[in-house]
Structure 1
Amino acid sequence: MIKKLLLLASWLPFAAMAQEKGMHFEHGLSWKEIKAKAKAENKYIFMECFNSEDDLSKYMSDSIFPQGKVGAFMNAKYLNVKVQMDRTPEDNEEVKKWYDDALRIEKDYNVRCSPTFLVFSPDGTIVDGYAGVQPGEEWFLERFTASLNPDQQYYLQLEKYKNGQKDTAFLRKLAYMAKDAVDDENALTVAKAYLEQQSDRNTPGNHAFVREILFSPKDGPMGMMNADRAAADIVSNFGAAEAKLMEIVGKEEVYAALRTINNAAPDWAAIEKKVKAKYPSIAEQLVLKTKIQYFSDKKDGDNAVANIVAYMKKYGNTADPQTLNEFARTIFKKCKNQKYIEQALEWSKRSFKENETPAFMHTYANLLYKAGKKADALAWEEKAMNKANGDERKNYETTLEKMKKGE
């Protein structure tokens, strides 16, 4: 027994030394107290925001944080703190005490994935952010050495952009920094500002830039090919960039909330509030578009029409031809209100202003007929028919005959 105790006693100092080699994380302090301690010690704050079941976060705890070189550097330069973002029945009292702070941190600093790393200056100001993990301690040391350099601190560079710095080298670098911080909205905004300064946006280099900023291609070569095509579209048409952002945010923030228990009506106000906290510039537009799709799928014509009208009143000037035609068709099919039919006529005519697409002209002709403008309807349906081919032409010919007969 004595021998075992001696062995245990001889092992304990080595265990302590091994623990000291890794990163030391603060325990028992509130967020307010962490900031006060950092200010007193003139240290930056390193914060890992994680979910309890996340494998990447476990990898960091098992393989990166215990490394001697990592501990020596991070303990000297930073106060280190872990913040659990989710809530589980197994949470201890320390985790529970951080619940409110964790919610504020998630909202204030756009924490969307696990792990997300945030860096604060000694006075508690956010200066840098990074999401995701790469293997090896060298990456980690390089990344958080850079976080001590004002030229590499994302939020400080973003402030320079907001204050007017717009040279191309700066914008390109900032777009990648926004991507690393999972700040999709600013990544898009800065990428657009960069592309606007390119004399020829339609180059392989610019396609690659957009693809890298906005996409995470999956499914091997096919995923990359689709991303390449989409990047080319975005470079040629900035409107496609906003559409891509809304697609990303819609999948991540909105559509999951529509799957309610017992098919109960979604809490639209709560959904919009959540999206607005992270993406204020697109929240209302995205939720309105989602409502239109939701009510159309539910065969609820009245609500679909009401939200189309609300959308077009606020965002109609930026609607693309496909959206204009889709909304006009819905009004044609679902609405008898002559005021809205007249509005839809204007949207529909805009949809083929630049390119006389037969299907869009067909929608316009149908709306004219519904508005009681039979002669105009016949003229436009004939134009649509003459521009169409194959089965499409036959369909329009059939519609034209029905219009002539008053059917």
Structure 2
Amino acid sequence: MKKLILLFLLIPFLGSAQDKGTHFEHGLSWQQVKEKAKKENKYLFVDCFTTWCGPCKYMTSTIFPQEKVGDFFNKNFVNVKVQFDKTKDDSEEVKSWYADAELIDKEFKIRAYPTFLIFSPQGELVHRIVGGGDADGFIAKATKALSPETQYYTMLKKYNAANPSPEELKELVAIAEAAYDEENATKFAAAYLATQKDPYTKANLEFLSKYLKDSKSKGFALILKEPKRVDAVLGKGKANEILGKVILNEHIYPGLRKPTANIDSLITAANAKYPTVDMRKSTDLLKVQFYQGTKKWDKFQPAVLDYMKKYGSEVNAEMLNNFAWAVFENCKDADCVASAMAWSKRSVEETQEKEPAFLDTYANLLYKLGKKDEAIAMQQKAVNLVPAEKKGDYQATLDKMKKGE
């Protein structure tokens, strides 16, 4: 009986501990949560998430349960979570929101996850946050939703009705980009450029290189027209680099998502459309990545060897290790493996033998080429460096090497 009484007495304390985090509404429809926010005169905070989104899961498991986060959001907002994908395991509550989720997606253009929409007590969208973060940083972002001076959509209305200065336009571009509002970011960038007598200054070109996303924009036309002038200010090859990113995004990446993608045809078509833009460095790397991702190892081998021959001196240690491991696992040609070992050795030397994953790659390649003793010594260094929770895999490789397996 005493045990039962003690357990009963503990229940309120357990409930109190569980309530310290952020409270999200359940059992209400979209219309009902809006009515609740209006009745309580609170802002409405909408967490737009999917079940496959890693940052969404992190926010749910780590950030929202924290007491200080709960204190802030429960005080200032009515909070609701809305799932934007559909799975076979969805609960009846999630299913009841399918239509509302589609409506929200269509009306407010959710482009990335997690996206957090904040509405005024009257139901007007006033702010948007894209992406998560740590507790203090996220509270700081959400605090901006509580003041008209810092609410994104309130600021948009203000500037659209006024005549913003060039500096205010630049600020608006940055804010719109952070909110994934590409339409307004493009509009404000064009408006800013229209105020500039000389678009080819260092500041203006750096601005363009950061925010240029559209081949139909004025900025793209400016750089395409005067690439040498751009390079004279920003450095050799910068014009091609800036233009190439836009061309890849518009004319090549979308085609690669198709099951029947032919990367050579896509690159040829893009080059024909923009013959003055040299994209060879970008497209050569893209071929390597595409063949690696699609596991076309017969094409990966010549592509990676060609890329390293042309640009190897510029490749960083992480990419060297990535290429070397892909060769180790999938290429049988002895010359290719020998090249990969040279890349791997470079990655080890450039990181001063302090990256266990790079040491592990190098050890495996040494072993593959018959240099067993060197391989064992290198793998032992990797085992010594790796954190305790990851030692198992590294030690298993070392044991196999010692056994001649």
Residue 24 of structure 2 corresponds to: 25
TM-score normalised over the length of structure 1: 0.54
Residue 37 of structure 1 corresponds to: 36
**What runs of 5+ residues in structure 1 fail to find an aligned partner?**
216-228, 264-292, 298-303, 305-319, 327-407
> Which of the residues 157, 164, 167 maps onto 1:166?
164
Alignment of 1:19-98 (within 5 A): 19-98=18-97
CA distance in 2, matches of 1:256, 1:102: 29
CA distance in 2, matches of 1:87, 1:117: 19
Cα separation, partners in 2 of 1:199 and 1:26, compared to 1, 3 Å: same
Cα separation, partners in 2 of 1:250 and 1:113, compared to 1, 3 Å: farther
Shift in Å, 1:204: 3.9
Shift in Å, 1:163: 2.9
Residue 149 of structure 2 corresponds to: 151
* 1:210-249 Cα shifts (integer Å, max 9, x gaps): 444458xxxxxxxxxxxxx9xx68x9999x9999668546
CA distance in 2, matches of 1:121, 1:245: 37
**What runs of 5+ residues in structure 2 fail to find an aligned partner?**
214-226, 277-405
Residue 279 of structure 1 corresponds to: none
Alignment of 1:4-403 (within 5 A): 4-134=3-133, 136-213=134-211, 248=249, 255=255, 258-259=258-259, 323=273
CA distance in 2, matches of 1:46, 1:242: 39
User: Contact 1:48 / 1:81 at 8 angstroms: preserved in 2?
Assistant: yes
- The letter for the 1-side match of 2:116 is F
TM-score normalised over the length of structure 2: 0.54
Sequence identity of aligned pairs in percent? 42
Residue 293 of structure 2 corresponds to: none
Q: Which secondary structure state, in structure 1, belongs to the residue aligned with residue 146 of structure 2?
A: coil
- The letter for the 2-side match of 1:50 is F
- The letter for the 2-side match of 1:187 is A
Shift in Å, 1:62: 1.5
Residue 280 of structure 1 corresponds to: none
CA distance in 2, matches of 1:115, 1:172: 26
CA distance in 1, matches of 2:275, 2:188: 31
Q: Which secondary structure state, in structure 2, belongs to the residue aligned with residue 145 of structure 1?
A: helix
* 1:7-33 Cα shifts (integer Å, max 9, x gaps): 533443232222222111011111011
* 1:62-82 Cα shifts (integer Å, max 9, x gaps): 221112221112111111010
* 1:187-210 Cα shifts (integer Å, max 9, x gaps): 122122223323443344334434
Cα separation, partners in 2 of 1:7 and 1:169, compared to 1, 3 Å: farther
Residue 287 of structure 2 corresponds to: none
User: Contact 2:177 / 2:185 at 8 angstroms: preserved in 1?
Assistant: yes
Q: What root-mean-square deviation, in Å, do the aligned CA atoms of Structure 1 and Structure 2 show?
A: 3.8
* 1:305-349 Cα shifts (integer Å, max 9, x gaps): xxxxxxxxxxxxxxx9963889xxxxxxxxxxxxxxxxxxxxxxx
Shift in Å, 1:117: 0.7
Cα separation, partners in 2 of 1:259 and 1:159, compared to 1, 3 Å: farther
